[in-house]
């Protein structure tokens, strides 16, 4: 008598053949078979338990639970929408892994909504066993060779072909064309591939093959291809179910339920990878000893347990193990076995499907068993059919339990009591097995009675679906290329930034010498930064930024106290008459004095006037030109201190004593200089942008004296107005400049500051929409509205803490019709525009600090820069990009950026205090 194997199964000496003397057919062979097959019976309760445990595992994985790791993977596939049939074009599809030991290449032509359906051309190539378990490079080279062989037969010429790669194994996808293999399944076990990006491996192999120019634009799991290939009339299918050598399903989940994704809108296709489902509690009771043997002898013991009970690669094996067991016990075939019966893979899915097919008579079963080297007796054929039926029925029922869990998940994620859904099915188990689909349908109806499910067989194994995804990927790839081309001019190189720095240095030198230069280098008559001895109460005005502020500044030994009030400057006043503007300013001052109980008190007043002024003294400033949307008449060329004093006179607010006018850069430098005496540069990046710094008086041609310092207001906003920034200016900058109230002016400012960045972004978005890259090409009225895209949106959209979902919310509030990819592209546009602005600003600061270092003939310079302005303060990355650019371009300067807390009003008060102190000293 043969020994009993460790699993308690009869294990003949394994040698095929018959026992010495033929074993009579035991009378109870049928019971013996039934008793053996009872193991494959799965009760309704067990199926429901599997369904429930499966659903739990799905939801644990969706929520990103890692410990214990759920046994189904729930992998996002980056396919965000079911096909809307508009896809067009010729695509090559390479299928690897869907159909066991062979790969398939297809040529698919998509005709869009209008055209009729074109039959894909395809060819199948058998993969040699040694290639399936050899080095990964060998497998991908084999695939690339098959690709060429297939294309050799087609008139493709040397056009660049777009390829969709259907790779039917568990992969972590990070994009439509980026996918890392987690683990092989289904008889594949090539080395050097797990953990690698399989798209890159294929691209490298195609490169090595070098026969055709093929662009691999998408990698797709076969379930996704099956779902996407669903006949438009029948669908849309929102579940893809494959039972071929392996088994798996995908479905459209609400993106907000997928923790891995930073999406809250729309749906995303999830590849469940249910082959790895195992839950001892639920599956343990239905696993038979044959399942354990099969798993133990498989290439990946312990893995894909669920798949090994359903997949076509295993159904034949399970039947073989049962038949071998029954034969060795003399229950079947008179105890005879055969090499096919005793060797792995001896019985294939085709055998099982045919033997179970009611239309295939006993004779056909007999023939098949004979072809397997067996000598079946008449009674054997029916018993064999029972074995096939038991194995396949269980497979279909288990598949149904999993599918029912998916349907329950869909009901939950869509909060629907009932669900009407189309499931695309693919794979040879469906095609070849006569009853698999019907058992599946019946069981699903039992387990998911509130779901109305229609099963749509995929017409060509998903090749079309893969082509659909490839078409979408190709469109997205084309969009990405157009986005990159559009944003390329904003990518400023280090060399270009160094050139800007050098040009700014030359312009500074020319400006200081009083020669023609786009940098006016205006002396401010501030000769020193505060030394802490300033004292007194001062009124200060702060005009030119986002807000107009009136301040009371008390400078005392204990420090500086400020109380202030913001007043608005309506556009009609900013662009009205100068008299109206200055009368409005004085009204605000008087209102402030009343509120502060200062009425009648004569306090020295410092006026931060943030516009280019040629100063003739501390309290004399001739407005050269308005900027930042101001355009009040009869002011340019006027001394604004006089204009203010006239308005004060008109208002009889005689107690107001204007002592100093300062630029906001100077006010900011002084304000920060009060805390840090090394602060010798003032920088504003707000509505406008500008900088000032302490220059050696000897270098200032327009002011007498060779010793000491003079703070110079560079008015760098106008840098490049002589065309010197032409090489960096884009046609978007030109559009913004043309549409501004001062075209041709403030070109540097218009590439950097808050008043313009939003507009630059809007023009880029318009351009990309016209190209069809964004917003489905819909040019909405809102997007064509000037200034609708505020610069603060850039700061919000680029903040790291903001998920794409919030980016979407901002854009939707703008009434922009978003697709899921749009938000990401808008974010990239904002990043490109703000990054260039910060780098250009950094190049400017580098020019200034290097000037100071060289002025003082220092090897190393330590200096602080006082900064203010909404853009600099609010944008999440602007300040760090400026600092990084300065480190790059001025490595011998240790620069500290001090964000001004109290604005330049305090600075204006300090300048006034210094002026008052100097005035007292001269009067003493």
Among residues 90, 145, 141, the alpha carbon closest in space to that of 123 is found at 145
Under the binding rule (CB under 6 A), the answer on residue 749 touching ligand BGC is yes
Q: Which is nearer to ligand BGC, 8 or 302 (CB)?
A: 302
Stretch of residues binding ligand 0WK (CB under 6 A), selected from 59-67, 538-546, 617-625, 765-773: 538-546
The helix/strand/coil state of 713 is: strand
Q: Which of residues 605-624 bind ligand 0WK (CB under 6 A)?
A: 608, 610
The enclosing H or E element of 83 equals: none
Number of residues that bind ligand 0WK (CB under 6 A): 18
Q: Active site residue: 458, 610, 729, 900, which one? A: 610
Tokens of 240: 């893809």
Answer with the entry of ligand 0WK, ligand BGC, none that 546 interacts with (C-beta below 5 to 8 A by kind).
ligand 0WK
Tokens of 273: 């990878």
Q: Which of residues 529-558 bind ligand BGC (CB under 6 A)?
A: 544-545
Stretch of residues binding ligand BGC (CB under 6 A), selected from 215-223, 347-355, 470-478, 649-657: 215-223
* Residues 6 or more apart whose Cβ sits within 8 Å of residue 667: 542, 606, 608, 682, 903, 904, 905, 906, 907, 908, 911
Stretch of residues binding ligand BGC (CB under 6 A), selected from 241-249, 255-263, 433-441, 762-770: 241-249
Under the binding rule (CB under 6 A), the answer on residue 749 touching ligand 0WK is no
Q: Active site residue: 460, 619, 664, 902, which one? A: 664
The enclosing H or E element of 246 equals: none
Q: Which of residues 586-625 bind ligand BGC (CB under 6 A)?
A: 610-612
Answer with the entry of ligand BGC, ligand 0WK, none that 868 interacts with (C-beta below 5 to 8 A by kind).
ligand 0WK
Point out the residue whose Cβ comes nearest to ligand 0WK: 686
Beta carbon of residue 162, minimum distance to ligand BGC (angstroms, whole number): 22
Q: Which is nearer to ligand 0WK, 59 or 749 (CB)?
A: 749
In 492-546, alpha helices (H):
494-512
Q: Which is nearer to ligand BGC, 332 or 396 (CB)?
A: 396
Q: Measured in whole angstroms, how far is the alpha carbon of residue 109 from the centre of its chain?
A: 30
Tokens of 713: 């207001």
Q: Which is nearer to ligand 0WK, 335 or 544 (CB)?
A: 544
Q: Which of residues 68-127 bind ligand BGC (CB under 6 A)?
A: 98
Would you give the DSSP letter of residue 714? -
Q: Which of residues 893-922 bind ligand 0WK (CB under 6 A)?
A: 903-905
Answer with the entry of ligand 0WK, ligand BGC, none that 870 interacts with (C-beta below 5 to 8 A by kind).
ligand 0WK
Altogether, the residues listed in the chain come to a count of 924
**Candidate residues 684, 710, 736, 861; the one interacting with ligand 0WK per rule CB under 6 A:** 684
C-alpha–C-alpha distance, residues 699 and 402, integer Å: 82
Residue 199 Ramachandran class (φ > 0 left, ψ -120 to 50 alpha, else beta): alpha
The helix/strand/coil state of 545 is: coil
Q: Which is nearer to ligand BGC, 295 or 380 (CB)?
A: 295
Under the binding rule (CB under 6 A), the answer on residue 169 touching ligand BGC is yes
**Candidate residues 12, 136, 229, 246; the one interacting with ligand BGC per rule CB under 6 A:** 246
Stretch of residues binding ligand 0WK (CB under 6 A), selected from 37-45, 171-179, 425-433, 684-692: 684-692
Per-residue contact flags (x/-) with ligand 0WK for residues 822 to 861, judged by CB under 6 A: ----------------------------------------
Answer with the entry of ligand 0WK, ligand BGC, none that 667 interacts with (C-beta below 5 to 8 A by kind).
ligand 0WK
Q: Which is nearer to ligand 0WK, 322 or 672 (CB)?
A: 672
Burial class (CB in 10 A: 0-12, 13-18, 19+), 9: middle
Tokens of 229: 């290939």
Tokens of 411: 């009901």
Burial class (CB in 10 A: 0-12, 13-18, 19+), 771: middle
Under the binding rule (CB under 6 A), the answer on residue 682 touching ligand 0WK is no
Q: Which is nearer to ligand 0WK, 70 or 686 (CB)?
A: 686
Q: Is 527 a catalytic residue?
A: no
Show the CA angle centred on residue 89, arms to residues 87 and 90, nearest 5°. 130
What pairs with residue 426 in β-bridges?
A: 242
Tokens of 30: 């049928």
Beta-strand ranges (E) seen in 610-741 are 613-617, 620-623, 657-662, 679-685, 689-696, 709-713
Q: Token match 């007292």: residue? A: 920
Under the binding rule (CB under 6 A), the answer on residue 754 touching ligand 0WK is yes
The per-residue DSSP string of 311-371 comes to SHHHHHHHHHHHHHHHHHTTSSGGG---HHHHSTT-S-HHHHHHHH-TTS-HHHHHHHHHH
Among residues 704, 663, 669, 699, the alpha carbon closest in space to that of 683 is found at 669
**Candidate residues 170, 686, 758, 844; the one interacting with ligand 0WK per rule CB under 6 A:** 686
**Candidate residues 413, 529, 689, 742; the one interacting with ligand BGC per rule CB under 6 A:** 689
C-alpha–C-alpha distance, residues 585 and 601, integer Å: 18
Q: Token match 């913001």: residue? A: 566
Under the binding rule (CB under 6 A), the answer on residue 330 touching ligand BGC is no
**Candidate residues 328, 408, 690, 834; the one interacting with ligand BGC per rule CB under 6 A:** 690
Half-sphere exposure at residue 94, Cβ-oriented, CA atoms within 13 angstroms: 30
Beta carbon of residue 688, minimum distance to ligand BGC (angstroms, whole number): 2
Q: Is 664 a catalytic residue?
A: yes
Answer with the entry of ligand 0WK, ligand BGC, none that 749 interacts with (C-beta below 5 to 8 A by kind).
ligand BGC
C-alpha–C-alpha distance, residues 307 and 424, integer Å: 19
Stretch of residues binding ligand 0WK (CB under 6 A), selected from 287-295, 483-491, 681-689, 793-801: 681-689
**Candidate residues 177, 664, 715, 749; the one interacting with ligand 0WK per rule CB under 6 A:** 664
Q: Is 610 a catalytic residue?
A: yes
* Residues 6 or more apart whose Cβ sits within 8 Å of residue 580: 573, 632
Under the binding rule (CB under 6 A), the answer on residue 717 touching ligand 0WK is no
Among residues 427, 1, 479, 498, the alpha carbon closest in space to that of 222 is found at 427
Q: Measured in whole angstroms, how far is the alpha carbon of residue 688 from the centre of its chain?
A: 32
Whether the Cβ atoms of residue 556 and residue 906 lie closer than 8 Å to each other: no
Q: Active site residue: 104, 329, 520, 549, which one? A: 549
The helix/strand/coil state of 253 is: strand
* Contacts with ligand BGC, residue ranges (CB under 6 A): 98, 168-170, 185-186, 221-223, 242, 244, 246-248, 273, 275, 307, 544-545, 610-612, 627-628, 663-665, 684, 686, 688-690, 715, 717, 749
Provide the binding-site residues for ligand 0WK, judged by CB under 6 A: 542, 544-546, 608, 610, 664, 667, 684, 686-687, 754, 868-870, 903-905
Catalytic residues: 549, 610, 664
């Amino acid at each position: 008598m043969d020994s009993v194997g460790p699993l308690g199964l009869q294990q003949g000496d394994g040698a095929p053949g018959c026992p010495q003397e033929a074993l009579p057919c035991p009378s109870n062979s049928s019971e013996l078979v039934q008793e053996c097959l009872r193991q494959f019976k799965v009760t309704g309760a067990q199926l429901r338990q599997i369904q429930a445990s499966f659903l739990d595992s799905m939801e644990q994985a969706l929520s990103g639970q890692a410990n214990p790791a759920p046994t189904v993977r729930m992998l996002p596939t980056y396919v965000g929408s079911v096909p809307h049939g508009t896809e067009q074009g010729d695509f090559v599809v390479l299928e690897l892994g869907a159909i066991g030991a062979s790969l398939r290449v297809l040529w698919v032509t998509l005709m869009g909504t209008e055209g009729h359906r074109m039959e894909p051309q395809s060819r199948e190539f058998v993969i040699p066993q040694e290639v399936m378990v050899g080095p990964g490079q060998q497998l991908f080279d084999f695939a690339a060779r098959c690709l060429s062989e297939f294309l050799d037969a087609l008139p493709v010429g040397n056009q660049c072909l777009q390829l969709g790669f259907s790779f039917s194994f568990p992969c972590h996808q990070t994009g439509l064309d980026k996918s890392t293999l987690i683990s092989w399944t289904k008889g594949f076990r090539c080395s050097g591939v797990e953990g690698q990006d399989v798209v890159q491996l294929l691209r490298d192999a195609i490169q090595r093959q070098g026969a055709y120019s093929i662009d691999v634009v998408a990698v797709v799991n076969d379930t996704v291809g099956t779902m996407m290939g669903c006949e438009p009339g029948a669908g849309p299918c929102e579940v893809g179910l494959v039972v071929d050598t392996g088994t798996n399903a995908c479905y459209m989940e609400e993106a907000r339920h997928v923790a891995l994704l930073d999406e809250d809108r729309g749906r995303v296709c999830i590849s469940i990878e249910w082959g790895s489902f195992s839950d001892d509690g639920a599956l343990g009771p239905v696993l038979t000893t044959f399942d354990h043997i099969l798993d133990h002898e498989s290439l990946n013991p312990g893995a894909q347990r669920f798949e090994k009970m359903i997949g076509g690669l295993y159904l034949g094996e399970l039947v073989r193990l049962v038949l071998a067991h029954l034969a060795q016990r003399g229950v079947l075939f008179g105890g005879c076995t055969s090499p096919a019966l005793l060797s792995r893979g001896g019985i294939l899915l085709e055998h099982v499907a045919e033997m179970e097919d009611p239309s295939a008579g006993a004779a056909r079963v007999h023939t098949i068993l004979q072809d397997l080297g067996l000598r079946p007796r008449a009674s054997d054929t029916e018993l064999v059919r029972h074995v096939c039926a038991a194995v396949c029925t269980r497979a279909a029922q288990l598949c149904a339990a999993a599918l029912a869990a998916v349907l329950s998940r869909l009901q939950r994620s869509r909060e629907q009591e009932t669900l009407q859904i189309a499931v695309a099915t693919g794979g040879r188990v469906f095609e070849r097995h006569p009853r698999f689909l019907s058992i599946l349908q019946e069981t699903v109806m039992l387990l998911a009675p509130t779901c109305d499910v229609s099963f749509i067989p995929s017409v060509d194994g998903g090749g079309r679906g893969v082509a659909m995804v490839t078409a979408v990927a190709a469109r997205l790839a084309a969009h990405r290329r157009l986005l990159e081309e559009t944003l390329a001019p904003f990518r400023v190189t280090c060399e270009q930034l160094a050139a800007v720095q050098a040009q700014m240095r030359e312009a500074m030198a020319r400006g200081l010498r009083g020669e023609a230069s786009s940098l006016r280098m205006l002396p401010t008559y501030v000769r020193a930064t505060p030394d802490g001895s300033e004292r007194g109460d001062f009124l200060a005005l702060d005009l030119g930024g986002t807000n107009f502020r009136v301040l009371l500044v008390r400078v005392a030994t204990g420090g500086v106290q400020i109380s202030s009030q913001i007043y608005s400057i309506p556009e009609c006043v900013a662009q009205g008459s100068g008299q109206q503007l200055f009368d409005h300013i004085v009204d605000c001052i008087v209102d402030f004095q009343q509120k502060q109980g200062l009425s009648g008190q004569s306090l020295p007043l410092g006026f931060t006037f943030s516009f280019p002024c040629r100063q003739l003294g501390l309290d004399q400033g001739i407005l050269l030109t308005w900027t930042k949307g101001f355009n009040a008449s009869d002011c340019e060329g006027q001394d604004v201190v006089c204009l203010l004093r006239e308005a004060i006179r008109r208002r009889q607010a005689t107690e107001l004593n204007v002592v100093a006018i300062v630029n906001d850069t100077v006010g900011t430098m002084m304000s920060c200089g009060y805390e840090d005496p090394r602060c010798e540069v003032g920088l504003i990046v707000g509505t406008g942008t500008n900088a000032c710094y302490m220059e050696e008086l000897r270098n200032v041609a327009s002011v007498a004296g060779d010793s000491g310092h003079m703070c110079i207001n560079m008015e760098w906003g106008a840098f490049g107005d002589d065309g010197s920034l032409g090489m960096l200016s884009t046609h978007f900058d030109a559009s913004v400049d043309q549409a501004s109230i001062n075209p041709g002016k403030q070109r540097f400012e218009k590439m950097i500051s808050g008043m313009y960045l939003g507009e630059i972004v809007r023009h880029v978005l318009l351009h990309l929409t016209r190209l069809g890259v964004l917003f489905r090409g819909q040019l909405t009225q809102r997007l064509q509205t000037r200034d609708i895209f505020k610069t603060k949106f850039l700061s919000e959209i680029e903040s790291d803490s903001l998920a794409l979902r919030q980016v979407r919310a901002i854009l939707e509030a703008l009434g922009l019709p978003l697709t899921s990819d749009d938000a990401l592209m808008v974010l990239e546009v904002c990043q490109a525009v703000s990054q260039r602005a910060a780098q250009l600003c950094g190049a400017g600061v580098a020019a200034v600090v290097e000037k100071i270092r060289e002025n003082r003939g220092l090897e190393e310079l330590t200096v602080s820069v006082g900064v203010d302005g909404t853009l600099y303060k609010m944008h999440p990355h602007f300040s760090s990009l400026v600092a990084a650019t300065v480190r790059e371009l001025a490595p011998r300067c240790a620069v500290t950026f001090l964000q001004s807390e109290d604005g330049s009003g305090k600075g204006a008060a300090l300048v006034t205090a210094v002026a008052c102190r100097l005035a007292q000293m001269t009067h003493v």
